[in-house]
Structure 1
Amino acid sequence: MNAYEDPRITAFGLLTEVHNGLMIRLSQDPTGRGLSTPEVSVLIRLARTPGQRLRLSDLATQTSLSTSGVTRLVDRLETKGLIVREPCPTDRRSAYAVLTPGGVVLVNELAAENVKIIDRWFTGLLDPDQLETFLGTLRVIRDEVHPGATAGA
């Protein structure tokens, strides 16, 4: 067998193709809200975090953005009134990004739209047992390759 025929290469190639295809579907912004995919990702990440707040450094880690990239993104979302910055009470150098009430409303709308897309092109293609197994598998891989990505990290 040639190295390029290795099933591990196939698995990685399929994962990449699926990711790229889903990102194209999710980034089409059919509602015309003018939000980038990273902005939507940050809003959803904040909404799913206890207290709907994260330190900017944790947000950078969890989204794979640089610290300066998160700062610029937070600036844009703050200008749009979707998040606010709050100082960290225990570290003057740190700040939290906190979802505003308007941000919560928008995230709920975006999530409902994204669920339709995700169900059509991803999870809806799997039966419940396949989905449960797949989620477990993804978590094992994610925790190894990106350990800071969990909300509690």
Structure 2
Amino acid sequence: MSTRARPAATRLTPALPTAADHLLPGDDRSAARARAVLRHHLQLWHISGEPAYSAELLLSELVANAVQAQASAASEVGVRFALSDGCLRLEVRDASDELPVMSDAKEDEECGRGLVLVDALASGWGVDRDGTGKTVWAELAVCDASAPCRAPVLRSP
């Protein structure tokens, strides 16, 4: 090697982001948009199969509930995905202060089963309220089915 030549630099691979935030319009197409954005992040994080399907279903139900809870279609819905320690956390924020309620839908009713699905599929779920609305979240173990998600961080109302 000549005295003017330099050794090749080691290229660092940028770390994948472990969280993503998105704002969606508060309309009937928001659940489909949220699923599409989530699919992109799941691919980046190499999450597929049953955990990916469950995550999409959870997010779809949470977004549909948020859209329905808001009085105005002009309101936006915020979604956030975060991956940490084998746990995927899905958060959906809306401007309504109305808390979600798990109900027993009758066989012929079209609505009312969303939170039952969330409760069945998620490792845990809950609601964080603030002065301008709420965030409904659900967690799902995605890397090792035998490893539970971290204990949720408790936030004061």
TM beyond 0.5: no
Q: TM-score, normalised by structure 2?
A: 0.28
Higher strand share: 2
Q: TM-score, normalised by structure 1?
A: 0.29
Higher helix share: 1
